[in-house]
C-alpha cells in the first residue's frame, strides 16, 4: 500500500493494559519519541495516551479505518484481550462505543498491513491471565504458549504475516521501535520470527548473555539473599539462562537491567511467565535448580557446577554474598613472578 504523502499510518490501541509499554516507548529517541516518529515518517492515527482526539473524534478515526477510507499500515495493541465475561468482552469496553476492545480488534486487525502485539500481555495474555485468569485474558494470537488467542492461529494480516509479538513486561523501547521500523522497511519477514512470533533479532539471545554477574555464574558463586552481588540463578529465582531477549546487551534507562538491578530475571518475554510462583526463589529438586539451561545435559551442568565451585577464587566467593565489593581484584599477595 502506498500513501500519497509517503507517511506510514500507525494506530495504537490499549486493551487490558497497564500502559507500561507506552511509558517505555516514550523514553525512545534522543529528541523525544514524537520527533523520532516524524523523522521516520510515521503518522500516529491515534494513540490513547498522546493524541489530541478524544471521544467522538476517536470513533470517527476508527470508523474511517474500518470503512477503508484511511489505510492502516500498522495496528498495535498494548495489553491483553479480556474476552470475559462469557466472551462478551465487557471487562474491557472501549469507552463511548458500546463495543469491547476484543470486538474492535477482531474487526480492525484484517484492515492492517501488519498487526503488532506490544508487550507480553498483547502477545500471550500476560499478567492479567495469571492465576484464575478472572477476565479470560488472552494474547492476540496466543493463549499462553498455545497458538490461538483472540484472532486465532490462522490469522494473517494484509501482508501475510501473523501477529508480531514484541514480548516483554515492559519491553525495551528499542525492541518496539526497531520492530516497527523493520516492518516499515519490509525487512521483517515470517522467517525472521521465532515459534512464538517474536522477532529473532531479540529472541535469538538469552537474557543471560552479557550479564554483569557473569563471573559469579561461571564459578557458581551465588547470592543467598537480596542485594548481594553473586549470581542470582542458584537461590534467587533467576531465569535469565532460559529466557530470550538481549536484555543484558542493551542499557535500560541509561544503564540498567533486571540482573544489574539486583533481582532475578522472571522471564517476562516468555509465554506464561506470570504463572510461576515464588518468583524470587529458585525451585529445586534434591538441591539442584529445576530450571537449568535448556540445551545442556543436566548431569554435565551439575558436574561442571561442582567443579567450578571447587575452583572459585576467594574474591569471587566472598563478594558473592556481600552487597559491596569486599575483596577487590588484584593479586592475593607476593611479588610479580618473572
* Subset of residues 137 to 156 that bind other proteins, contact rule: CB under 8 A: 137
Site string for other proteins, 50-89 (x = CB under 8 A): xxxxxxxxxx----------------------x--x--x-
Residues 6+ apart with CB under 8 A from 141: 117, 123, 147, 148, 149, 150, 151, 152, 153, 155, 162, 163, 165, 197
Q: Report the residue from 277, 294, 332, 337 that binds other proteins according to the rule CB under 8 A.
A: 277
Between 99 and 158, CB nearer to other proteins: 99
131 binding other proteins? (CB under 8 A): yes
132 binding other proteins? (CB under 8 A): yes
- Give the DSSP per-residue string, 144-188: TTEE-TTT-TT---TTS---EEE--SSPPHHHHHHHHHHHHTT--
Q: Report the residue from 169, 211, 233, 240 that binds other proteins according to the rule CB under 8 A.
A: 169
Helix 56-66 to helix 101-108 angle (10° resolution) is: 40
Which residues inside 22-41 make contact with other proteins, applying CB under 8 A? 22-24, 26-27, 29-35, 37
Q: Report the residue from 127, 203, 206, 221 that binds other proteins according to the rule CB under 8 A.
A: 127
Question: Strand 164-166 and strand 112-118: pairing?
Answer: parallel
Between 147 and 280, CB nearer to other proteins: 280
> Smallest distance, Å, CB 284 to other proteins?
16
> Smallest distance, Å, CB 323 to other proteins?
4
17 binding other proteins? (CB under 8 A): yes
d(CA 60, CA 53): 10
Burial of 56 per CB tally in 10 Å (0-12, 13-18, 19+): exposed
Which residues inside 189-218 make contact with other proteins, applying CB under 8 A? none
Kindly state the cell numbers that stand for 208: 543471560
Between 96 and 160, CB nearer to other proteins: 96
Specify the stretch interacting with other proteins by CB under 8 A; choose among 156-164, 203-211, 213-221, 277-285.
Answer: 277-285
Residues in the interface with other proteins (CB under 8 A) total: 83
d(CA 227, CA 236): 10
- How many residues belong to the chain? 338
Amino acid at each position: 500500500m502506498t500513501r500519497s504523502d509517503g507517511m506510514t499510518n500507525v494506530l495504537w490501541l490499549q486493551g487490558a493494559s497497564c500502559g507500561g509499554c507506552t511509558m517505555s516507548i516514550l523514553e525512545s529517541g534522543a529528541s523525544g519519541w514524537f520527533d523520532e516518529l516524524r523523522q521516520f515518517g510515521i503518522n500516529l492515527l491515534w494513540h490513547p495516551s498522546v493524541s489530541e482526539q478524544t471521544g467522538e473524534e476517536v470513533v470517527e478515526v476508527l470508523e474511517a479505518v474500518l470503512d477503508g477510507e484511511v489505510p492502516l499500515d500498522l495496528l498495535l495493541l498494548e495489553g491483553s484481550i479480556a474476552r470475559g465475561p462469557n466472551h462478551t468482552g465487557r471487562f474491557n469496553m472501549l469507552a463511548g462505543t458500546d463495543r469491547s476492545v476484543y470486538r474492535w480488534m477482531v474487526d480492525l486487525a484484517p484492515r492492517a498491513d501488519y498487526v503488532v502485539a506490544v508487550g507480553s500481555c498483547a502477545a500471550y495474555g500476560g499478567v492479567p491471565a495469571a492465576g484464575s485468569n478472572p477476565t479470560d485474558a488472552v494474547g492476540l494470537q496466543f493463549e499462553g504458549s498455545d497458538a490461538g488467542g483472540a484472532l486465532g492461529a490462522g490469522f494473517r494480516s494484509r501482508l501475510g504475516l501473523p501477529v508480531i509479538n514484541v514480548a516483554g513486561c515492559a519491553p525495551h523501547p528499542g525492541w518496539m521501535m526497531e520492530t516497527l521500523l523493520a516492518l516499515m522497511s519490509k525487512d521483517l519477514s515470517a522467517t525472521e520470527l521465532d515459534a512464538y512470533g517474536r522477532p529473532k533479532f531479540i529472541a535469538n539471545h538469552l537474557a543471560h548473555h552479557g550479564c554483569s554477574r557473569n563471573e559469579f555464574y561461571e564459578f557458581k558463586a551465588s547470592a543467598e539473599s537480596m542485594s548481594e552481588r553473586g549470581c542470582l540463578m542458584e537461590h534467587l529465582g533467576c531465569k535469565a539462562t532460559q529466557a530470550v531477549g538481549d536484555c543484558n546487551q542493551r542499557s535500560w534507562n541509561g544503564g540498567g537491567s533486571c540482573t544489574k538491578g539486583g533481582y532475578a530475571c522472571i522471564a517476562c518475554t516468555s509465554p506464561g511467565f506470570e504463572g510461576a510462583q515464588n518468583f524470587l526463589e529458585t525451585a529445586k529438586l534434591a538441591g539442584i535448580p529445576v530450571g537449568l539451561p535448556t540445551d545442556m545435559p543436566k548431569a554435565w551442568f551439575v558436574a561442571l557446577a561442582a567443579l567450578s565451585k571447587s575452583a572459585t577464587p576467594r574474591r569471587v566467593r566472598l563478594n558473592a554474598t556481600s552487597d559491596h565489593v569486599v575483596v577487590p581484584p588484584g593479586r592475593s599477595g607476593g611479588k610479580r613472578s618473572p
